[in-house]
Structure 1
């Protein structure tokens, strides 16, 4: 399963991660950047360390799970 992680810096200079399941691929950096800007402008998320104040990074994470038969 793949996930899109949007990482922001909060007022206490700590990292806050917003994770979205099943991102559209290929990822469009311009759209992701615009979405992150919109999140910051709308100030719609709050963390225990205060408001989100800056973008840090965005990345797609893929996790593979293999069941082991016991």
Structure 2
């Protein structure tokens, strides 16, 4: 089972997303929002869409892989 935390932002020209693999299990929505707002304020990410201007939303993607064996 692989989890990814996807952070979605408005950027100067369109939208941008940052994906974090294997995020901590106990993150709260408030912690995620605060971290995203700090990312916007710090302006440390360079994206093809320009600077991040606003945190929009986040989601956890949970992917399970099941091997199929042939008989």
TM-score normalised by structure 1 residue count:
0.86
- Which blocks of at least 5 consecutive residues in structure 1 are unaligned? none
Structural RMSD (CA): 1.3
For residue 5 of structure 2, what is the aligned residue in structure 1? 4
Compare CA radii of gyration and give the structure with the larger one: 2
- Which aligned pairs between 1:23-34 and structure 2 lie closer than 5 A? 23-34=23-34
Distance in 1 between the 2:41 and 2:10 partners?
A: 14
Aligned to 1:57: 57
In structure 1, what is the Cα distance between the partners aligned to 2:10 and 2:32? 16
Q: CA deviation at 1:64?
A: 1.3
The equivalent of 2:22 in structure 1 is 22
The aligned length equals 69
4+ runs deviating over 3 angstroms = none
